[in-house]
A and B are shown apart, each in its own frame.
Chain A
Amino acid sequence: MTTDTAPTVAIPSVRAIRWKRRQVATARFIRAFSRYRSGLFGVGILLFFVAVAVSAPYVFPEYLLDPNANLSNSVYAPPSAEFYYWMGTDDLGRSVLAELAWGARPSLVVGILASIMAMIIGTLVGIASGHFRGFFGGSMERLTDWFLVLPFVPTVIVLQAVLGETTIWITVIVLGITSWPGTARLVRAQTLSVEARPYIERAKVLGNSDWAQMVRHILPNVMPLVIANTTLTVAIVILSMTTLAFLGLLDPNLISWGGMLDSADATGAALQGAWWFLIPPGLCVIAVVLAFTLIGRTLEVVLNPRLGSN
């Protein structure tokens, strides 16, 4: 191999072309995504709630949420024309509208962070259990099966008790720990089918270590699926968090939609016909969960993680 001339490719141009390719790919992705109305609808809802979550502190001053600052308000006052009280008051005389806006914050933060945590654990375990044959892979597979059967609420209760207080971060960790097995199973199945591709064989023959095979070849090929799946996991995590809040298992000082429903249930809002404290929080949960579900389903189609294509 001595005959041919040395190459004359300048590094910057390689970069530039690569950058160009990324841009083209991104543009193609956006175009493909925007062909799905339901996906765009999901993005729209999500953007709305993100805006609400970000602006809540500016639009609704914190005193509106303080039980002691609203003692003079009447309890379960029906909706009125005054902006803060468009949605009436709750069992403590606070503005329901303000609570709804503030409640968007923990839903999004916990939902996204816990899902990312589940994504990381699930992807690591899933790839490892699909790639390694023998004892290690088998153990990872078993571990997934084991975590899959743990009963959700009791596990959360005990984990929280073990971890100490119930801050929002503890909730993130607890939900992350309980949400990864589904991702791991999915990633494992996908890893197995990537493993059967000849380029993995080629990678082995070229001398790649297990680690290099996983990072260079398997991970990039399971990533689209993981991203779509994580988006769907956010939806499930938000529902789980709502359940926990409803059972009084979140930080009691945190304003959340599930917590609002807990108060509504505990103080008999349904029996008193206080629909404004009962219906809007549920609709907010549904809207956000629906948004992530719609986006996730669209990503599944658009990123089309069928192997070999792309």
Chain B
Amino acid sequence: MAQQEPGGVSDAALDPTEFGRVQRPSRVSGIGRFTARRLLTGLGTLAFVLVFNFFLFQMLPGDPLARYKGAREISAEDLAALRQELESPLWEQFFNYVKDPLQLDSYSTIQGKPVWEVIADALPWTLILLGTSTLLATVIGIWIGIRAGWNRGSKFDKNSTGITLFLYATPEFWLGLLLILFFSTGFWIFPGIFPSGSAIGSGLDPWTVDGVISIAWHTVLPAASLAAVYLADYSLIMRASMVDELGQDYLMTARAKGLMDRAIRRGHAVPNASLPTITLIFLNIGFIIGGAITVETVFSYPGLGLLTWNAIQADDLPLLQALFLFFSVSVIVFNMIADIVIAAIDPRIRL
């Protein structure tokens, strides 16, 4: 019965799960329209971040001139221009900022290079680390979650839930420190076989075989630290969604009809239950780009995280401001990708 009671919104729209994005019905339908609408809200968020970024950094106490000049060599002319800009009225500064929100000409005070160049140098390392750890966390986490959820109450479920809860509670940098203690320093019976500083052996060219092997070797420990913590997150969510999904009527009937467990699992339960986990994975990718700070610091891994830490230490405001923008944008973008991917898989979300 297609009955609509007062309020008139269907259950799908009211899906009270944390990760199900709730949207009001509207005229728009189809994935193309959905994408367009989602891009629009993404742009809105971006506008907010830009404004927030400007005012937040404006409010910082202290002498802005010193901050923006830093240790860099600067001609008397440029200095005068910089001073004039910093002393102009707020609205004028804001106007200039809006004209050039990326601040393409701003310089990192520690490195004496344009900020975006500095970020571009560090980005590949972050991507390597992020890619490896996300791949590991996703594959292992989802596998554990499916198995535990499907065999709820089994020994595997109990053990894996215990372990993943423990990992979930672990600070990733502490895990990194332990891994260094055990597998880099070498401790007790553990061999110190993995390197723990930088991302590649010194003097090696990344585009040679030796270079690639060295990179892989350097990635093992930091990637393991990140992956361990995130796989905990994924397997817990995946398990919960599996358990939910198993309670659904259609699965009960399918099981009662004697369909092969494996077929049901592959064909129905897993695809439906993966949606929240997929959303979370994409969201986390956005966050890890800026969130691997501690792990990169612990391993002196030269990605964006370490760069952020150095910028903090040296009070390098222009760089920090650019990083702030970059991190926010990556979260916005991945958030958006998550929504669109989910909507493509599950038309209920699209409305």
Chain A residues with CB under 8 Å of chain B are: 133, 142, 145-146, 148-155, 157-159, 161-162, 164, 182, 185-186, 188-190, 192-193, 195-198, 200-201, 235, 239, 242-243, 246-247, 249, 258, 261, 264-265, 269-271, 273, 275, 278-279, 281-282, 285-287, 289-290, 293-294
Q: Is the interface of B mostly helix, strand, loop or mixed?
A: helix
- Among B25-56, those with CB < 8 Å from A are 41, 44-45, 48-49, 52, 56
In the complex where A158-B57, A162-B59, A189-B22 touch, is A153 in contact with B290 (Cβ < 8 A)?
Answer: yes
Question: Of all chain B residues, which has the CB nearest A286?
Answer: B169
- The answer to the question of B143 belonging to the interface, with a C-beta cut-off of 8 Å to chain A, is no
Chain A residues closer than 8 Å to B294, beta-carbon distance: 243, 246-247
Shortest CB distance B9–A (Å): 6
Contact of B9 among A151, A196, A249, A293 (CB under 8 A): A196
Q: Are B16 and A190 in contact (CB under 8 A)?
A: yes
Chain B residues with CB under 8 Å of chain A are: 5-7, 9, 13-18, 20, 22, 24, 41, 44-45, 48-49, 52, 56-57, 59-61, 165-166, 168-171, 173-175, 177-178, 180-181, 184-185, 187, 286-287, 290-291, 293-294, 297-298, 308-309, 312, 320, 323-324, 327-328, 331-332, 335
Q: Are A285 and B169 in contact (CB under 8 A)?
A: yes
In the complex where A265-B177, A273-B181, A275-B181 touch, is A152 in contact with B290 (Cβ < 8 A)?
Answer: yes
Chain B residues closer than 8 Å to A269, beta-carbon distance: 177
Question: Of all chain A residues, which has the CB nearest B315?
Answer: A161
Shortest CB distance B39–A (Å): 14
Shortest CB distance A212–B (Å): 18
Question: Please, how many angstroms separate the alpha-carbon atoms of A60 and B338 in the complex?
Answer: 50
Chain A residues closer than 8 Å to B22, beta-carbon distance: 188-189, 192
Q: Are B312 and A247 in contact (CB under 8 A)?
A: yes
In the complex where A265-B298, A282-B174, A285-B174 touch, is A196 in contact with B291 (Cβ < 8 A)?
Answer: no
Most chain A beta carbons < 10 A, residue from B15, B169, B181: B169
Shortest CB distance B69–A (Å): 18
Shortest CB distance B246–A (Å): 16
Shortest CB distance A245–B (Å): 10
Contact of A192 among B16, B170, B177, B290 (CB under 8 A): B16
Q: Closest 10 A-B residue pairs measured CB to CB?
A: A151-B327, A289-B169, A282-B174, A196-B7, A149-B331, A151-B290, A290-B169, A146-B48, A270-B181, A193-B14
Question: Of all chain A residues, which has the CB nearest B283?
Answer: A148
In the complex where A153-B290, A275-B187 touch, is A243 in contact with B41 (Cβ < 8 A)?
Answer: no
A-B contact pairs, 23 of them (CB 8 A): A133-B24, A146-B52, A148-B335, A149-B286, A151-B291, A153-B293, A154-B290, A154-B323, A154-B324, A155-B56, A158-B60, A159-B56, A161-B60, A161-B61, A162-B56, A198-B6, A235-B169, A243-B294, A247-B297, A271-B180, A282-B171, A285-B174, A290-B169
